[in-house]
């Protein structure tokens, strides 16, 4: 009675079913398929990183236009057309924050692409860990932004209902 009832089951070889070839990360590095998947991902990651930085720069220019350009367009009454000037200030600040986030995500994506390049050259587990950690940081930022946007949508929804 030396079996632990809480231990994970151990797979037993079955007759007629070929087993996978013995493979060891310590002796052979990462699998060629994994390296190929990383290599094929690198170009798309860097492409999206550059596009995200470009979008962030355009958003930054737009936010500066909203923040500083609208002050000269006000007609002295603190309004631009039918909208109060505070509306444009809030929009400008929102675009400013989003542009910084976009540029940060783009830089992190490019860093992730560079770590993939290092991984494909070295076939090293440490470089794979660095690459996946850089990818994790991108998803962390995007996840936090998704939560913030969801909260803002709920607040906006409640504010719209309360305004009736």
Q: Output 87 or 76, whichever has higher pLDDT.
A: 87
Please say whether the dihedral angle defined by the alpha carbons of residues 76, 81, 82 and 87, taken in this order, is positive or negative: negative
User: Hunting for tokens 């039918």 — which residue is that?
Assistant: 82
Q: Output 99 or 29, whichever has higher pLDDT.
A: 99
- Residue 133, pLDDT above cutoff 70: yes
- Confidence grade of residue 76 (pLDDT, cut at 50, 70, 90): low
- Residue 60, pLDDT above cutoff 80: yes
20 by DSSP, 3-state: which? coil
**Segment 140-145 mean pLDDT:** 94
pLDDT at 74: 61
Radius of gyration of the chain (CA): 26
The per-residue pLDDT of the chain, averaged, comes to: 85
The most distant pair of C-alpha atoms in the chain lies apart, rounded to whole Å, by 89
Q: List, for residues 4-53, the tens digit of each pLDDT value.
A: 778 777 777 776 666 655 555 554 678 889 999 999 999 999 999 999 99
Axis-axis angle for helices 32-64, 125-162 (nearest 10)? 40
pTM equals: 0.72
Which residue from 151, 159, 141, 135 is spatially nearest to 97, judged by alpha carbons? 141
pLDDT at 145: 92
- Confidence grade of residue 69 (pLDDT, cut at 50, 70, 90): confident
Phi, psi of 27 (to 5 degrees): -95, -30
Distance CA 74, CA 77 (A): 7
- Confidence grade of residue 112 (pLDDT, cut at 50, 70, 90): very high
Cα(first)–Cα(last) distance of the chain, in Å?
A: 72
- Confidence grade of residue 103 (pLDDT, cut at 50, 70, 90): very high
Distance CA 120, CA 44 (A): 15
Please give the distance of CA 80 from its chain centroid, rounded to a whole number.
36
């Amino acid at each position: 009675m030396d079996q632990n009832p809480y231990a994970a089951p151990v797979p037993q070889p079955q007759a007629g079913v070929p087993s996978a070839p013995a493979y060891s990360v310590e002796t052979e590095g990462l699998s060629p398929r994994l390296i190929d998947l990383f290599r094929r991902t690198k170009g798309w990651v860097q492409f999206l990183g550059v596009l995200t930085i470009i979008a962030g720069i355009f958003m930054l220019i737009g936010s500066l236009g909203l923040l500083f350009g609208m002050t000269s367009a006000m007609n002295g009454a603190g309004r631009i057309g039918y909208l109060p000037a505070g509306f444009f200030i809030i929009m400008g600040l929102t675009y400013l924050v989003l542009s910084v986030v976009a540029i940060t995500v783009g830089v992190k994506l490019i860093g992730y692409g560079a770590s993939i390049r290092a991984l494909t050259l070295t076939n090293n587990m440490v470089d794979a860990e660095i690459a996946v950690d850089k990818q994790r940081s991108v998803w962390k930022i995007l996840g936090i932004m998704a939560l913030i946007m969801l909260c803002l949508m709920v607040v906006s929804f409640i504010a719209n209902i309360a305004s009736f």
